[in-house]
Amino acid sequence: MVDVKILDTPLDTDLCLRQAYDQQCGGVVSFVGTVRNETQGRKVRRLEFECYLPMAQKEMRKIADEAIAKCGAAHVVMHHRIGTIYPGEAAVVIVVSSPHRTAAFEACQYAIDQLKITVPIWKKEFFEDGEHWVSAHP
C-alpha cells in the first residue's frame, strides 16, 4: 500500500502509523522531519514551504514505489506539509512497514533521502533579521 499526501494542515503522525500497521509486518519504522529553531546560530522564526503540487505528488509516489521494489517494504506512507510551519512542528512524516525490520529501516532511509533530492518542494527560512531559500545557492 502506498499513501502519498501533500497537506496544508498539521500532519497526523498517529494516522500515518496506523495506516502502515499490518499483521504481516513485524517492523514499522517512522521518520518525522521537524523544523529546527536555529540554523548556523541564527534563530529560525518560521519556514514557508511551497511545491509544484502535481509533480511533487508524482515524484513522492515514484519514491514510495521504489522503496517497495528495491527495499522490500510492504507499505509506505509519506505525508508532507506545505505552507507556514513553526519550529517544533513536523514538515514530513514517513512510515514504512515490512515483514522484517531491516527492509523497513532501509526503505524509510531511502524514502527521506530521495525526497530531499527529487521532490519539487522548497522551503524558505525566516530569521529575526532576514530570510533565504534553503539550498538555493552554492
Partner 1 sequence: MKINVLAFGIAKEIVGRPKEVLDVSDGITAGELKVLLEEKYPDLLKLRSYFLAVNEEYATEEQSIKADDEIALIPPVSGG
Assess 13 for contact with partner 1 (CB under 8 A). no
Q: Give the angle subtended at the CA of 98 by the CAs of 81 and 88, to the nearest 5°.
A: 30
d(C-alpha 14, C-alpha 6), whole Å: 16
Measured from the CB atom, the residue of 41 and 138 that comes closer to partner 1 is 138
42 binds partner 1 (CB under 8 A): no
The answer to whether residue 83 forms part of the interface with partner 1 (CB under 8 A) is no
Nearer to partner 1, 40 or 135 (CB): 135
- CB crowding 110-134: b at 16 or more within 10 Å, else e: bbbebbeeebebbbebeeeeeeeee
Integer Cα distance of 17 and 114 in angstroms: 20
Q: How far is the CB of 33 from partner 1 (least distance, A)?
A: 5
Which residue in 72, 87, 99, 120 binds partner 1 (CB under 8 A)? 120
121 touches partner 1 by CB under 8 A? yes
Q: Which lies closer to partner 1 via its Cβ, residue 102 or residue 113? A: 113
Whether residue 75 contacts residue 23, with contact meaning beta carbons closer than 8 Å, is answered with no
Q: Is 7 in the site for partner 1 (CB under 8 A)?
A: no
Contact between 133 and partner 1 by CB under 8 A: the answer reads yes
- DSSP class per residue in 9-39: S---HHHHHHHH--TT-SEEEEEEEE--SEE
- The residue from 45, 66, 112, 127 that contacts partner 1 (CB under 8 A) is 112
* Residue numbers at the binding site for partner 1 (CB under 8 A): 33, 49-52, 54-56, 58, 80, 91-92, 112, 115-124, 133-138
